[in-house]
Amino acid sequence: MYNKKNIRLGVSVVCTLCTALIIGGVIRSEKAQQTKQAFFEPEYMQMSEKASIIASMLEKNYIENFDDTELSEKMYAAMTDAMDDPYTCYLTKEQMTAFTDDSSGRMSGIGVVIAEEDGHCIIKEVLEDSPAEKAGIKAGDIITEIDGTDVSGMPITEISAMTKGVENTNVNISVMRGTKRLDFNVERKSIELKYVTGKCDGNIGYIKITEFSQVAAEQFKTMLADLEKQNIKGLIIDLRNNPGGIIDVVAEIADTILPEGLITYTVDKYGNRRDILSAEGELDMPVAVLVNGGSASASELLAGALQDRKKGIIIGTQTFGKGIVQGLYSLSDGSGLKITIQKYYTPNGVCINGIGITPDYVIENDGNEDLQYNKAMELLKTKD
C-alpha cells in the first residue's frame, strides 16, 4: 500500500520536532504548530505522500490492531465518495468481477432485479429458478442489509454488486416484507441472464427489456424477428424499472427502430461532442414505450430518442432523470473505477439529468390493473 522506507523517514523528522505531553488524556506536541506548517501545507506535501504518512502514523500509534487491506480499500472508496456523485465509485476486485460478469450477460449472484423507490432498494423481480426464489425472497421485499451492512441510501449499482460474487459463496440478505424483517442466507450461483422477453397480444407485439447488457441487443432483435413472423401491426416496448446499461447496446436497439439520423450525443468535460447515429432503414410500425420512475439512464436515452424523433409514444410516469454516462476503468490489481465522464443529450438537445422524461401520456397504475399497458394497446390499435 505504501513505501515504508520513505514513510519512516518522514515520520522520523516529525518525531524529532515534537516533545509529547500527556494532558487530560490527550497527547499534545509543544511544537505541533511548527510540525503542521512543515508537513501539511499543500505546497510541501502531495496527496500520496500525506496518505502514506497518515497510514504509517496509524500503524505505529493506533492502540488496536487493524487490517492494512481494509484501511486502503476504505481510503480508495473515500476518494470517489468525495466527488459527491453516487455513480462515481471505487470497485473492489470482487465487485469489479461481478460488475463485468453482469454486463456480459452472465453473473454469479442471487437472481433478483432491484430498483430504487422512495430511498429504498426494492426487489422488483425474482428470476425463475434462481437462488433468491429458492430461498424464499419475493418481489416487493425491501433490502435493508447485506452481510450486516446497512444499504439505506446506497446507489443501486453498489447494492447490486454486493449481492454478486464468487459462485458457491453465500450472502446474507435482510429484507422488510411489510412490517416484518426476514433474514436469508443465499448461495450465489452462475445465472444465464435473459434481459428481453416478449409476447404477441392479438396483432400487437410486446417486448420487455430489463437491462441493456451486452447481450440485450441480440436478444431484442431475435424477439422482434419472432414477433414480426406473427404479423404484428404495432409494438410495445416496456422499459419500466429498467435501470440502464451500456450506451452502445441501447444505440444498437434504437438503430433497429429509428430512421437514419441522430440517436443521441454525448459531451465530456472538455466540450468534446460525440454523435451516435442510426443508419438507413427503420421499423415500419407504430411503437409505444412504457416508462416509470425506475426507468433510468439508457432507458431514458431510448425513450428520449423515440420521442424526439416522433417514432414512439411514451406512456407512464416521469422517468428517473439520469442523463450522464460512466466510464469503467480497470486497475492492475483487478479492482476498478466507475467514473462519470459525459452528459448525454436527446436529439433535440435536452439533457434530462435530474429531470427525467415526461411521457406523452402521464398515467399512474392503480395496482390492480396495468393502465399503462392498456393505454398503449388502445393507441396502437387505433393506428392499425
Residue with more model confidence, 171 or 37:
171
Q: Supply the pLDDT for residue 24.
A: 37
**pLDDT(20) > 60:** no
* DSSP symbol at 40: S
Residue with more model confidence, 5 or 237:
237
**Options 103, 108, 174, 297, the catalytic residue:** 297
Contacting residues for 98 by C-beta, under 8 A, at least 6 apart: 107, 108, 109, 161, 164, 165
**Options 124, 189, 208, 322, the catalytic residue:** 322
Each residue's pLDDT tens digit, 71-112 = 889 999 999 999 999 999 999 988 888 778 767 776 788 999
Rounded to two decimals, the pTM is: 0.71
Catalytic status, residue 278: no
Task: Tell me if 287 sits within 8 A of 311, measured CB to CB.
Answer: yes
Amino acid (one-letter) located at 137: I
Catalytic status, residue 338: no
Q: How many CB atoms lie within 10 A of CB 200?
A: 14
Contacting residues for 245 by C-beta, under 8 A, at least 6 apart: 103, 211, 212, 213, 216, 297, 298
Residues 340, 320: Cα–Cα separation, whole Å: 17
Lowest mean pLDDT among 17-31, 206-220, 302-316, 344-358: 17-31
> C-alpha angle 252/216/289, rounded to 5°?
75
Catalytic status, residue 308: yes
**pLDDT(357) > 50:** yes
The percent of residues in the chain predicted with pLDDT above 70, rounded, is: 88
Residue with more model confidence, 31 or 298:
298
Q: Supply the pLDDT for residue 7.
A: 30
pLDDT band at 32 (very low <50, low <70, confident <90, very high): very low
Each residue's pLDDT tens digit, 294-305 = 999 999 999 999
Each residue's pLDDT tens digit, 116-142 = 888 899 999 898 889 999 999 999 999
Task: Tell me if 346 sits within 8 A of 320, measured CB to CB.
Answer: no
Contacting residues for 171 by C-beta, under 8 A, at least 6 apart: 110, 146, 147, 162, 163, 165, 185, 186, 188
Residue found by looking up cell 440478505 in the block: 173
Residues 296, 22: Cα–Cα separation, whole Å: 56
**Options 308, 311, 338, 375, the catalytic residue:** 308
Residue with more model confidence, 158 or 353:
353
Query: Which has the closest alpha carbon to 198: 189, 186, 209?
Result: 209
